[in-house]
Amino acid sequence: MSAWLRWTFILLIFTLLVVVPFVHFRSVYAHSKRFREVDPGHLYRSGQLTAEGMTDVIAENHIRLVLNVQEDVQDPDCYLSYVDRRTIKESVLCDKLGVRYVCIPTDLVFDLTHPDHRPAGIDNFLKLMDDPANHPVLLHCKAGLHRTGIFAAVYRMEYNGWSKHEALEEVRALGFGELVCTPDNEYIREYILTFAPGRRKQGDAAAVAQTASPEP
């Protein structure tokens, strides 16, 4: 066998054993980037999907609302697919697919001394989730780990009755990172550790009671 044929054969074997599996893995990863069920029929989570991937996820799970929690990119450009690098705005894609698109920035308060102080994103998120007409919801950020994780934790505590410890353990298990998933992390502290489930309902009940009370 000539040197040319030998190197051609080696290159072919390398392509088949390394390049093709890698491209396939990256294509599958981009198509359904960290897609997971949170509460079947109600809430799903992922990273930023391709247009092809989002189309399939929406169709397969009957998604009605796509919720982006990236404060830095509030209407991201979606690649059409892993191999097709043309883009479409996520809001435009959702409109074409007949689903609602909402962006809730992941804000921080920096002042938790008052019990009513918490990120506006929490109450905006809960307001959307309170409405069954929005379900099922697809929640995502860029990677589907950090911002997505803390909003999923809020959902767990508010609607699934999970404790802060249980919600925090899931956040860690799904990739937030042990070293940064601590009370020193502002997002962990403001969205999970100081979160009070049912606070809106308590406020509504107090308002109703006050309205119903006879005037002196």
**Residue 181: what pLDDT?**
86
Domain coverage including residue 59:
32-196
Q: For residue 214, is it within any domain?
A: no
The domain tally of the chain equals 1
Does residue 24 sit within a domain?
Answer: no
Q: What share of the chain is helix, strand, coil (3-state, %, to 5)?
A: 50, 10, 35
- Give a yes or no: residue 211 inside a domain: no
pLDDT at position 180: 83
User: Which CATH number belongs to the domain containing residue 74 in this structure?
Assistant: 3.90.190.10
What pLDDT is recorded for position 112? 66
pLDDT given at position 8? 60
Q: What is the pLDDT of residue 163?
A: 97
* CB neighbourhood size of 5 (10 A): 9
pLDDT at 177 (0 to 100): 83
Give the pTM. 0.81
In DSSP terms, which residues pair with 43 in a beta bridge? 39, 137
Would residue 183 be called left, alpha or beta, if left means φ above 0 and alpha means ψ between -120 and 50 degrees?
A: alpha
The Cα 133–Cα 108 span in angstroms is 28
Query: How confident is the model at residue 31, as a pLDDT?
Result: 63
- The answer to whether position 63 is within a domain reads yes
Q: Going from the first residue of the chain to its last (216 residues), give the mean pLDDT of each consecutive group of 10, the final group possibly shorter.
A: 61 49 42 88 96 96 98 95 92 98 94 77 97 98 95 98 96 88 91 89 45 42
Tell me what pLDDT residue 22 has: 38
Under 8 Å between Cβ of 64 and 54: no
User: What is the rounded (10 degree) CA torsion for 164, 166, 171, 172?
Assistant: 110
